[in-house]
Structure 1
Amino acid sequence: MLHKMITNYEDVFYCRRTPENESVRLLYCSHALNHSLLCRALVSKNNEKEKQFGVSDSLRDQGFHRARTLILVPTREAARRIVHTFFQLMPKGSTVSHRRRFERDFGLQPGDTDKEKKTGRKPKDYEEWFSGNSNDNFRIGLAFSKKSVKLYSAFRDSDLILASPLGIKAIIDDEEEKQADVQYIIASIELLIIDQAEMLLMQNWATVQHIVSLLNQRPTVPVFASAARIRLCYLAGYGKRYRQTLLFSAVSTFLITLLSGECENFQGMNYIPPLSHYTDLYPTFLPDWVRIPGLKIPNRTGQKRQHSDIESVNEDKSTNYNFKLHLISFVVPGQISLKSSYGKLVNKDQSDSEDEMEVPPLKITDSLSSKELLKLDSSTNSLLLSRKSLTPTDYTYLSGLNVSMARLNAFKQRILPRLRRGTDPRVLIYVPDLYDLEELRQVLLSESLDFCCINEYTEDSEAERFRTLFGDGRIRILLITERYYFFRRRKIRGPQTFIFYGPPTFPWFVKELYDFRHSEDEIQYNMTILYCHPIETHIVAMITGSIEF
């Protein structure tokens, strides 16, 4: 199915990328290589026709520049694996130019040997992300022919550009001196491939969005090929509609789905959502003994547990883990949410009070102005229209600032009183964003609470000291950022209360943090997830199973 979508040149957002699913790389590499070779063969054939019969509209077979494929990956190791996949796909006996230089630049560096010895201590996804050369600043051009691959080709002579977002951003920032180089990369892209998008989210997703927004724009400097050979769609400014976008990720977030706004492929788009680790009636990333209060499980023996957690209830040796799961939703002030399809709207203010108001029936055929609200009810997946006129300020109610402020207010009202009373022991607060961490730090400081913070910029020695203090019980509250846990993946000892300030980007992090506890006593465990309705509801549903919207 996936192969058919790709070869049909449809856009694909594939959110089931896993370390075990290496065939995905082989699939898009073969597609990119086939596209490049077919295009080169067509250009060569039309060159002969032009020499014999002269210029004709039937010979329009090019964009503004030669580069037709752009592949964005996060690290040099990921780029090295892609290039080696191209080597495997080429016919036997093919020549490779500058291969020794490539292995020197993209292979293991002298300081990376010790890191490779630690392979096996981290989860498989971490090893895939950070094994090998994890440098994230690179760009390289590749030129293909029937039996040769040229590495480090000039951008104007390249069929494929393999780069990191940071590598392209360096050229964009230096646009005055290298404006032509930028055009060689972005002007005529027919195939855009973004692999390991989940890691790009942790680097700088804004750079990816900026690069994609610049693709297929008409050049401002006349350094392109003959206008007689350029396709009319590029001359008319419709290059985006003929560009295929392939995105491969292990997670699905609203930032990834927002990228679909830059995809205008007339062939259409396919979205393949992620799969949960526990595929029961309601798929979830948490086992049943976490979601079902009082369910008994066997004592931990070091063996990996299978998906059928309920079967372990009948075993002799069992432990009753008293686990409570709390889901706290909040809405943004001024948000309008549709409660049902029976003509009622709910206007939720900051205090979560509900004021129902009747809405007259609206026919689908009625013409709507640009200021009328169109909302998708996620619980029924049906389009509901309402004649609610919005002011310009209503359009920004889901902006990052408003959501952040509403999240902080919900934390103060629903969670902070528990921290003041001190009834929750060993509190681990997982914060998705560094700016939210700073806001929480100020709030906890004003309450004179005993806590410490670890973020991605904390020195390893200081982070180790904080984790030791928390594990020994000398610090009651520990705050960590998502990017710290992503880049370090260090075990946190001793937490009994888990507070997720927002749904984690990686749902399986919830189970990892819970499994890192080191206690066999029958004690109370609590987990609280704070989320914004409705934009984060589907993420929470992926973690905990189906919930009421």
Structure 2
Amino acid sequence: MDDGNSVTTKLLTLLNVSATRIGKRKRPQDDFVPSEKLNKRKSITFAETPTEKSNEDAMDVEKDAYEPSVNISTDEQEGGADHETISSSDGYESHFGVNPSSLSEASRTSVQSRSWANSRVKVGKLGSAIVSVPSNSEASTSAISSNVDILDNLKIPFATRQSKQSKNQIELQNDILAALATRKDLYITSAPLTTKRVTRESIALHALNHVTKKRRRVLKNNERLTRAAKADPDAPPPEDVQDQGFTRPTVLILLPFRSSALDWFRAITSHTSPPAYQIENQSRFLSEYGLPAGAVDKLVTAEPGIYPADHVDTFKGNVDDNFRIGIKMTRKTVKMFADFYGCDIILASPLGLRRSIEKEKNADYLTSIELLVVDQMDSLTMQNWEHVKFVMSYMNKLPKESHDTDFSRIKPWYLDGHAAFLRQSILLSAYETAETRALFNTTLKNVAGKIRTEKSWSPIEVPAGIDQNFIHFDCVSAVDEPEKRFHHFTTQLLPAILKSAVQSTNTIIFVPSSFDFIRVHNYFRKAAGVSFTVLSEYSTNQDISRARQAFFKTEKSFLLVSERFHFYKRYKIRGSRNIIFYGPPDHPQYFTEFLSFPFLDDGVEAADVTCRVLFSKYDRMRLERIVGTEGAIGLIKSS
């Protein structure tokens, strides 16, 4: 085992705890009391518990898939569309089954040493992509699967909905599903607004398919165990029934805001609509994750063009960033607000999960995540990326408690501590940052491989005639980059600006990094010797109003603006003539917006406006979204 003695010790402790519980590790005959025989085509029912009441008049309720005493009739097992046979050759079984074909010592070693074989391919509507597979493995280098193994009861309604969509949308969804069917990680690095909904729906379908296949495998094995116990009570149970993880949740979707969770709820329930499914606690979910009754969303109701489209999409609805919710999937129900250890899908913000983990000092519900989705990564970088890293550090670890787990049903690779090598991760972002690329490069360990889409950026449009100057500073190491940037700014760029009577007033200094912003702010406060004011993500409405007025009336010569402030507020700032970018913004549209602010004032000509951009070779991803991919390469090479 990779973790050596520590993993062995933890696992033996859990096994000993589990072995002391009735019905664990041993299966006496009494453990296999079958449910009451049900009529053909009826779902499984079970006794009412204090926490979950049955409602047989409204819907069929399925017994928890993790209880071995379930009895499923032959008619239910083989006759209906809801019990299609899961072939051992399909993508789910080959990757998440008992003996995954891609999991070997050689593939794990390659992943641990970051030894990947890379190839550039075209992935349909996803465009150009780099496919990476472990160099010492037999993993397929294909970026798409020839067989999209979606179950018919999900695929047929999906095809019906697709018939109402455009050809481009259908092709994009099919290409995404074909890529996900390979069980490789998928990182979409530039997801446009126009494709967000269809992308969510295709990924939600893949997640539901995963949950459904796992549940059916568990239920089939439950039936086998029940039949074996009836046939020969003294015989040992079948050995090949490993079908579970340490805990039930298998899908985790990380999101920035409650409104994002509402979007994903709609994507999931688009595949589980009535009468085939009933949604429990839907009203409560809509009230807690939507806006209060009678509230008006000014972003949605404003005239088109008042607010940028990406800002409206990000901040519409409920933007609380502290939440977590479990969703339990059964044969005919989608239950919202399910207990975390009894749910299949978790929708959460990184902050919400972190607070939960720190409060409970336990993250065992993340031990068996097989499908991870991180959506709107560009927004998550503007919140607190440390929360994302914190959550990722708890993924697929050995649990601290047994949680009444039947260890004889756990897949061997869970017991070996290899779950992280099989987890499929799906990352979605409007653009790449150093943080998101680092997550992809260093944290994802899928032995099936990973796919990262590429985009060739075109130069962004800016008002013609502006004096633009991209200023390079030398930097050998990324570790030294913040220090080198600050040194060049304070010793060369800023002194040159202060010598100019024109450029030393009406000047905005835009700072992308929060850490850099604090440093620059302290420098202006202590050493710059000029009048300035500040707009940061921590500014109150009163602070914002005072700062904007003082800058517009030239009472303050400099205005320091953090990128996070602009991300959250998106104000138009009047009175500027000179814009200094301490570093290129992450969001390319911010560059255009700041260069357009001087023209909010009457009588301003392009020749009156100057722009200075400080950059190093480590700003390549930011630069290419502004000056284009070729332009960024040219700037860095020429410098």
**Counterpart for residue 300 of structure 1:** none
Matches within 5 A, 1:77-116: 77-93=259-275, 94-109=277-292, 112-113=295-296, 115=298
**Counterpart for residue 519 of structure 2:** 439
Determine whether 1:40 maps to 2:215: yes
Cα 1:151–1:469 change in 2 (3 A) is same
Per-residue deviation, 1:469: 2.7
Cα 1:269–1:106 change in 2 (3 A) is same
- Report how many residues are paired: 440
Determine whether 1:542 maps to 2:622: no
Residue identity opposite 1:156 in structure 2 = Y
2:191 to 5, 9, 17: 17
Superposed CA deviations along residues 243-268 of structure 1, whole A, max 9, x for unmatched, are 00001111101100111211111111
Per-residue deviation, 1:226: 1.2
Paired with 2:456 and 2:559, the residues of 1 have a C-alpha distance of 31
Paired with 1:95 and 1:472, the residues of 2 have a C-alpha distance of 60
Residue identity opposite 1:198 in structure 2 = D
**Counterpart for residue 498 of structure 1:** 579
2:245 to 63, 82, 91: 63
Paired with 1:271 and 1:89, the residues of 2 have a C-alpha distance of 27
> Residue 470 of structure 1 contacts residue 494 of structure 1 at CA under 8 Å; is this kept in 2?
yes
Superposed CA deviations along residues 457-480 of structure 1, whole A, max 9, x for unmatched, are 111122122212323333321110
Residue identity opposite 2:495 in structure 1 = P
> Residue 64 of structure 1 contacts residue 187 of structure 1 at CA under 8 Å; is this kept in 2?
yes
Paired with 1:63 and 1:71, the residues of 2 have a C-alpha distance of 18
Cα 1:83–1:114 change in 2 (3 A) is closer
**Counterpart for residue 526 of structure 1:** 610
Paired with 2:281 and 2:364, the residues of 1 have a C-alpha distance of 25
**Counterpart for residue 372 of structure 1:** none
**Counterpart for residue 243 of structure 1:** 423
Cα 1:406–1:112 change in 2 (3 A) is farther
Cα 1:31–1:12 change in 2 (3 A) is same
Paired with 1:129 and 1:263, the residues of 2 have a C-alpha distance of 26
Residue identity opposite 2:468 in structure 1 = L
> Residue 75 of structure 1 contacts residue 135 of structure 1 at CA under 8 Å; is this kept in 2?
yes
Paired with 2:218 and 2:204, the residues of 1 have a C-alpha distance of 21
1:193 to 373, 388, 413: 373
Residue identity opposite 1:246 in structure 2 = I
**Counterpart for residue 492 of structure 2:** 414
Superposed CA deviations along residues 46-77 of structure 1, whole A, max 9, x for unmatched, are 11112234634432111111110000111111
Superposed CA deviations along residues 349-393 of structure 1, whole A, max 9, x for unmatched, are xxxxxxxxxxxxxxxxxxxxxxxxxxxxxxxxxxxxxxxxxxxxx
Per-residue deviation, 1:274: 4.8
**Counterpart for residue 5 of structure 1:** 179
> Residue 250 of structure 1 contacts residue 274 of structure 1 at CA under 8 Å; is this kept in 2?
no
Secondary structure of the corresponding residue to residue 372 of structure 2: strand
Paired with 1:444 and 1:140, the residues of 2 have a C-alpha distance of 44
Paired with 2:206 and 2:360, the residues of 1 have a C-alpha distance of 31
> Residue 433 of structure 2 contacts residue 621 of structure 2 at CA under 8 Å; is this kept in 1?
no
Residue identity opposite 1:24 in structure 2 = T
Q: Percent identity?
A: 29
Cα 1:481–1:274 change in 2 (3 A) is farther
Cα 1:476–1:258 change in 2 (3 A) is same
**Counterpart for residue 323 of structure 1:** 466
Per-residue deviation, 1:196: 0.9
Paired with 1:285 and 1:51, the residues of 2 have a C-alpha distance of 65
**Counterpart for residue 272 of structure 1:** 453
**Counterpart for residue 169 of structure 1:** 354
Secondary structure of the corresponding residue to residue 146 of structure 1: coil
- Which runs of 5 or more residues in structure 2 are unaligned? 1-174, 229-235
Residue identity opposite 1:103 in structure 2 = L
Cα 1:207–1:64 change in 2 (3 A) is same
Paired with 2:334 and 2:325, the residues of 1 have a C-alpha distance of 13
Cα 1:406–1:99 change in 2 (3 A) is same
Secondary structure of the corresponding residue to residue 393 of structure 2: helix
Higher strand share: 1
> Residue 71 of structure 1 contacts residue 163 of structure 1 at CA under 8 Å; is this kept in 2?
yes
> Residue 56 of structure 1 contacts residue 228 of structure 1 at CA under 8 Å; is this kept in 2?
no
- Which runs of 5 or more residues in structure 1 are unaligned? 277-282, 291-320, 336-396
**Counterpart for residue 257 of structure 1:** 437
Q: TM-score, normalised by structure 2?
A: 0.66
Superposed CA deviations along residues 391-439 of structure 1, whole A, max 9, x for unmatched, are xxxxxx433xx32221110102331122321341521110113332232
Residue identity opposite 2:474 in structure 1 = V
Q: TM-score, normalised by structure 1?
A: 0.76
Q: Is 249-258 or 98-107 further displaced after alignment?
A: 98-107
**Counterpart for residue 123 of structure 1:** 308
**Counterpart for residue 514 of structure 1:** 595
Paired with 1:524 and 1:477, the residues of 2 have a C-alpha distance of 17
Residue identity opposite 1:537 in structure 2 = R
Paired with 1:152 and 1:459, the residues of 2 have a C-alpha distance of 34
Per-residue deviation, 1:189: 0.3
Cα 1:153–1:525 change in 2 (3 A) is same
Paired with 1:251 and 1:485, the residues of 2 have a C-alpha distance of 17
Residue identity opposite 1:263 in structure 2 = L
Paired with 1:234 and 1:467, the residues of 2 have a C-alpha distance of 56
**Counterpart for residue 123 of structure 2:** none
Q: Is 194-203 or 415-424 further displaced after alignment?
A: 415-424
Cα 1:98–1:447 change in 2 (3 A) is closer
1:212 to 367, 392, 399: 392
Matches within 5 A, 1:365-444: 397-399=477-479, 402-421=480-499, 422-424=501-503, 425-444=505-524
> Residue 10 of structure 1 contacts residue 269 of structure 1 at CA under 8 Å; is this kept in 2?
yes
Paired with 2:352 and 2:523, the residues of 1 have a C-alpha distance of 38
Per-residue deviation, 1:233: 0.8
Paired with 2:459 and 2:176, the residues of 1 have a C-alpha distance of 24
> Residue 18 of structure 1 contacts residue 125 of structure 1 at CA under 8 Å; is this kept in 2?
no
Per-residue deviation, 1:236: 0.5
Aligned-residue CA RMSD (Å)? 2.0
Per-residue deviation, 1:327: 1.5
Cα 1:274–1:113 change in 2 (3 A) is farther
Secondary structure of the corresponding residue to residue 432 of structure 2: coil
Paired with 2:534 and 2:543, the residues of 1 have a C-alpha distance of 10
